[in-house]
Amino acid sequence: MEYVSFDVDGIKEYVFSAYRPSLVQGASELIKSALDCRENEEGEVIKKLRNGFKGMEVVFSCGGSGLLKVNAGEGERVCKELEKIYSEIVPGSSLTAVWHKEESDFPTLLKKLSVKLRIEKNRKALGEKGNTLNGNFEKRCTTCGKGEGKFEKKIGEEKENLCEACNKKHEKTKNEGYPTNMEEIPSSKEKQPHITFIYCDLNNAGSKLLSCKNEDELKNLSSRIYNTISKITENVKSASKDEKNSKPHIITPVIGGDDLIFIIPAERTFEALDEIFKGEEELKEIGTSFSTSFVVSHYHTSIYHLFTVAKESLKRAKEVYYRDSAPGIDFVWLREGMPFKEYGKNDKEFLLTNKPYKRDDFEKVRRIAENLLERNIPPSYLYNLLEIIEGREDESYKKINLFYYVVRNNEMSEVIKSSCNNNLNLEDVYKFFIVQKGLKYYYSQFSDVMEIYKILKLRSEK
C-alpha cells in the first residue's frame, strides 16, 4: 500500500483574496465541499478521485489537507489526478500532493510525508509566476483583481465583473444571506459600527497528529478535532444570531483544519469567546488548546487588513504558549486615530499594555472591566484615569493624581480594593494602574481593561 498526503496551496491568500465577506465565505465553502470528509459524506474531489481508484481509503480529509491510502503503484498517479481534479472544481486554487510507500513505523511514515509535502510546496511556490493577464487591466475581476472579469453579477446593490474563481465563490453562497459588504456585519452600522475578527489556532495539533502510532489513532484524533471545531463553529453562529433578523451577521471562513475564524458584530465578542473556550474543554483531553487573538475595528477596515492584524496578534498569543505552555490570548482595538506609543523616560521603559496574556490572566482583566461596567462608573471618569496613565508626566505626579481620582469615587475605590486585598493607599492604587517589573520596566494593563470595557459596553447598549 501507499499513502498520499495533500494540502491546499496558499489557502489563506485564496480565501481572503476577495474584499467581499460573502466571497470569503464562498471560498471557504468551496474548499470544504471539495475536500471535507466526515461520517458518510465525502467531498466532491474525493468522490471523483475514487471513481478512478476503487481501492482508495480516506484516513482523514478536512480543512484543506488530508491523507489517503491507495494500492501499491498508484501513489504517483493519485497525486497527479488529485491536483488536476481539485484545480477544476476549485478554480483559482491549487493543491499539492505527495506519496510514500507504507512503512512498518507509522509515525516515521507521517514525518517523511510531511517533509516531502513541505519541500514540494516550496518548490511549487518558487516556480510560480505572477498573473499578468496579457496586460489587460480593464477586464480584471473587480473583487480580487487577479483573474479576467468574464461574469457580470449583481452582488448586493452593486454590479461586479467576476473572474471564474470569484464567480464560483459567489455562486456557492449567494442564497445563504451572508454579508456582501463589511457594513452588513454590524447589527447596526449607525449605532454600533464595530466588528470583531476572532482568530484561533490549535496549539501543538500538528505534532499530535504526526505522533499517532497507527492509522486508526490518526483517523480518530483528526475526526475528534474536526468534530469539535465544527461544533464550536455552530455554537458561535447560534450565539451570534440576531433574533430580529434572520440574515446572518457573521462569516466563518476555514483556513486550515486546526484554525477558527469568526467575523462578527463587536458586541457579540465575548459570547463567541465563551463558546470557543467552552468547546476547548473537549480538546484539552487530548492535550491541546487554542491560542486566540481578536481585533476590534470599525467596519470600514478591509477584511484582509483585519486578517493581517489578527495574524500578527495571534503570533504574540502563541508566544505565551511556547513560553509558559499555557493558552495565550492577545487583542487589538484598531483606533480610528494614531495608536498610543510606548515610550521611555529617564531610562525607564513604560508600556501601555500587558499583552499578550495567559488565558487565566486575561480572565482577571476581563472581570475588572465587567466590574467597572456593573458599577455604572461614568465612562468620562474612566477615560480621565486612562489619560493620566498614558500621559508623559513623572511618576510622582501620576501617583498623586491617580490616588486623588480614585478616592473621590466610591465605586472605583471598591474595584481597586477587590483587587488589592481591601487596601486603598497611595502605593496600592498606583500599583493597580502601573506595575513595575524589574528595575527599569513598567507596564499598565488599564488600557487593556478599557478596550475590553468598550466591547462589553457595546453589548450592554444593544
Fold of domain 181-333: Alpha-Beta Plaits (3.30.70)
CA distances from 217 to 60, 116, 206, 282, 457 (A): 11, 22, 14, 17, 46
* Alpha carbons 222 and 15: distance in angstroms, whole number: 22
HSE-CB for 427 with a 13 A CA cutoff: 1
Phi–psi pair at 455, nearest 5 degrees: -65, -45
Check residue 98 and give its pLDDT.
Answer: 96
pLDDT at 177: 86
Q: How many CB atoms lie within 10 A of CB 126?
A: 7
pTM: 0.89
pLDDT attached to residue 168: 92
According to the CATH classification, is domain 2-127 in 3.90.550?
no
- Cis check for the bond before 253: say yes or no (omega within 30 of 0): no
Domains 2-127 and 181-333 share a fold: yes
What pLDDT sits at residue 175?
A: 87
Four-residue CA torsion sign, 334, 366, 192, 232: positive
Separation of alpha carbons 144 and 336, rounded Å: 26
Percentages helix, strand, coil for the chain (3-state, rounded to 5) are: 50, 20, 30
Q: 4: exposed, middle or buried (C-beta count within 10 Å: 0-12, 13-18, 19+)? A: buried
Domain boundaries, given as residue ranges, for the chain: 2-127, 181-333, 343-461
Q: Which of 261, 294, 203, 236 is nearest to 11 (CA)?
A: 261
Taking Cα atoms as reference points, which of 8, 13, 11 lies closest to residue 304? 13
b/e 116-125 (16+ beta carbons within 10 angstroms → b) = bbeebbeeee
Give the span between the Cα atoms of 397 and 153, in whole angstroms.
62
HSE-CB at 351 with a 13 A cutoff on CA atoms is: 13
> How far, in Å, CA of 352 to CA of 340, rounded?
8
User: Which pLDDT tens digits describe the chain residue by residue (462 residues)?
Assistant: 999 999 999 999 999 988 899 999 999 999 999 999 987 789 999 999 999 998 899 999 999 999 999 999 999 999 999 999 999 999 999 999 999 999 999 999 999 999 999 999 998 887 765 444 444 556 788 888 878 888 999 998 889 999 999 999 999 988 888 999 999 999 888 888 999 999 999 999 989 999 999 999 999 999 999 999 999 999 998 877 766 666 678 999 988 888 999 999 999 999 999 999 999 999 888 899 999 999 999 999 999 999 999 999 999 999 999 999 999 999 999 864 333 344 444 545 677 788 999 999 999 999 999 999 999 999 999 999 988 888 877 778 888 999 999 988 999 999 988 877 777 888 888 888 888 766 566 778 898 999 999 999 987 766
Rounded Cα distance between 421 and 112, Å, is: 56
Give me the pLDDT at residue 126, please: 79
